[in-house]
Amino acid sequence: MAPAKAISLRVRPTQSADLCYPVSGIIEYQPENLLGQAANAFNLGALQDKLEPLSALPPPSDLSNIVSGGASISALGTIAIKRVGDGPLEIEGALENAALSRLRAKDIATNLTQALSWHGLKNSADLTNEAINKRIELLGKSPSDPNSLLALLDSLSGVFKTRYDKLASLYQTNGPQAITNPSATSDSSTETTGGQAFTTTSHTETTYLGHEYQVPPVDNKARYLRSEIALRQERLAAFRLVQMNSRDNVLFAKAMTAAEVRKIQLDYIDTFLVAPFDGVVTAVFRNVGEFVSAGQPVLRLENDKTVYLVGQIKCRSLIRVGYSAHVTTTLFGEPAGASVEIDGTVCAVRGHEPIDEQWNVMIRCNNESPGGRILPLNYNFDFDSTEISIEA
């Protein structure tokens, strides 16, 4: 054990942060007695993970099971939303006891309420079991489903092909190959009985000159090709429609709409200022009603549960990282004051070049005791009333 003296030794917090908002705005709430108040750490990540609706995409294993038909339609019952999600009131409730400060954010709260309403409406209209069943019934489970819309279009294409083949065969056997001057022939016969019986017959031939020429076999093929072109366009649209409404894409659609809600939820959370670690508020830079820019310090939070003793000590012995340190002092150098003791561990050290006996050190100490904090932050140790023992 080597004795040492404090030449210039100060109490510093192990954690210190000037807290700021990630967005700009006007401070709406901040306690008047915030300075000097203790603050408990709030886990924002845990709050964000618990927000509803869930915005995570389904894992690949679940999707492969759905695509392969392993999941029945009833297995998608979880898609039906029983509770729309966390709105402004739920977020405010979660942060009520932890918020050190907050910005005006009625506009974001309104957008969040609206987004949740649309999300709930979309899910109730499109993602319920009834809606999924009806879409699968009308469109098919997948493009390869024999009862899908694509299969019906393929059947219609087959009908058009059969009609074309039949007409082409008839035109080739009996029908005209080309019509240049369309003509029409009509015959009629009338018999009159009685005193003077006679029969009247007539024959009429009409030729249309200047009429557009026609090629029936070619016209038949043109009609078939046009119908096939239209059907192919319908097939493409039907394929997209069936794919978009397949079970896996329904899950992705749910996740995407939930992600839009999640973004507004996170924007709303950004208007609250909470403690990232346990500590005490040691400075307040902005007050209620003031405008703050994103990144501008609002208050300072320092952790005084664990502190560093930082500075120079005098010791005629070798000091290494990991050595134990025992400090005994009388606060503020009062002769009649009670002595204070604190233990710590050397976590950083280097020699002081001009004088061999002096060391620049950082000693990490637990500053908690049953009666409260042992040492106040920024306290400077008195040379005469402070004794330090260093031990390997």
Render pLDDT for 64-82 as a digit per residue (tens, 0 to 9).
333 333 333 333 333 333 4
Kindly state whether residues 213 and 88 are assigned to the same domain. no
Instruction: Output the pTM of the full model.
Output: 0.63
Q: Are residues 135 and 153 in the same domain?
A: no
Co-location of 225 and 101 in the same domain? no
Instruction: Answer whether residue 30 is part of any domain.
Output: no
Question: Does any domain span residue 75?
Answer: yes
Q: How many domains does the chain have?
A: 3
Q: Any idea what the CATH number is for the domain that residue 383 is in? A: 2.40.30
Domain assignment present for 365: yes
Shared domain check, 175 and 52: no
- Examine residue 18 and state whether it is found in any structural domain, yes or no: no
Same domain, 339 and 365: yes
212 and 345, same domain (yes or no): no
Q: Do 115 and 257 fall within a single domain?
A: yes
Using the 3D structure, point to which of 229, 244, 259 is the last residue of a domain: 244
Residue 217 lies in a domain: yes
- Is there a domain that residue 83 lies in? yes
220/260 Cα distance (integer angstroms): 53
Q: Is 98 found in the same domain as 8? A: no
Q: Is the pLDDT assigned to residue 301 strictly greater than 50?
A: yes
Do 194 and 333 belong together in one domain? no
Q: What is the mean pLDDT of the chain?
A: 81
Looking at per-residue pLDDT, the higher value among 313 and 84 belongs to 313
The pLDDT tens digits of the residues spanning 145-172 come to 777 777 778 888 888 888 888 888 887 8
Looking at the fold, whether 238 and 253 belong to one and the same domain comes out as no
Residue 134 structural domain: 42-141+246-274
Same domain, 240 and 250: no
| Whole-number pLDDT of residue 151 | 79
- Asked if 228 contacts 165 with a C-beta cutoff of 8 angstroms, the reply is no
Shared domain for 92 and 156, answered yes or no, is no
